[in-house]
Amino acid sequence: MASKLIAPSMLAADFGNLQRDTEMVNNSEADWFHIDVMDGHFVPNISYGMPVIAAIKKHATKPLDVHLMIEKPERYIEEFAKVGADIITVHYESTVHLHRTLRQIKDAGCKAGIVLNITTPISVLEDILPECYMILLMSINPGFGGQKFEDVTYQRIKKLRQMIDQQGLNTRIEIDGGVTDKNIEKLVDAGADTFVAGSHVFKSDNPTATIKKLKTLANS
Ligand code: DX5
Ligand code: ZN
């Protein structure tokens, strides 16, 4: 299986010290920056948009993994690419013309992925999987950091892993929400390879050491 990646979620960073927290991620064993964009419609919360992403990009030395929790994301793909997104994932539930949106992301020069809410069946991915660099499975209801991980995620990962293997693809499986050093090994065993961690990293006493621990556990 592909090497396991850690993507700290900047939603849990200290926005008053964004450069400091960006550099912490640069200097850690993390692989990507996870960037959560919320519009107050698709999810009941508003996070941040282009200016903040541009500010992170200015100092980031690792790819930006941009998770769009916005309605009709096709309206903004080019703008997110322009401010520095490297990977853009859109919710299956947020756009009618998913195929067109994925093409749009790739045409903008980014890697494209789909996100599924917890109750959206894995089976909807069957025909679109070859178009995806990555599938992000939500392990919480999107909108807020610091929520409790939902155990149904394990069986969903297994189903998706089976589908990816059956189609002979190497699509990444990213997990987002409530990931900690207590569940990351079990998530790897189920078949996931990419892990978002927000509060577990940034609310810890030593975020750099926490990232290192997650990376070590995921790759052990
Ligand atoms: C929530 C976001 C997550 C969030 C994860 O909608 O998609 O990326 O930052 O936060 P934790 O790791 O605290 O659950
Ligand atoms: Zn996210």
**Please, which residues have CB less than 5 A from ligand 2, an ion?**
36, 67, 176
State what percent of residues in the chain have pLDDT above 70. 100
Residue 168 assigned to a binding site: no
Per residue in 110-125, pLDDT (tens digit) is: 999 999 999 999 999 9
Overall pTM > 0.85: yes
Name the residue among 80, 59, 60, 56 with its Cα closest to residue 68. 80
Place of tokens 């009941």: 44
CA 220 – ligand 1 centroid, Å: 24
Which tokens belong to 99? 């195929």
SS3 category, 179: coil
In the chain, what's the furthest Cα-to-Cα distance?
46
Please say whether the beta carbons of 66 and 35 come within 8 A.
yes
Which tokens belong to 91? 């919710």
Please say whether the beta carbons of 181 and 213 come within 8 A.
yes
Active site members: 36, 176
Q: What pLDDT, on a 0 to 100 scale, did the predictor assign at position 115?
A: 99
Residue 143 assigned to a binding site: yes
Name the residue among 144, 188, 182 with its Cα closest to residue 47. 144
Q: What pLDDT, on a 0 to 100 scale, did the predictor assign at position 62?
A: 98
Name the residue among 215, 217, 181 with its Cα closest to residue 7. 215
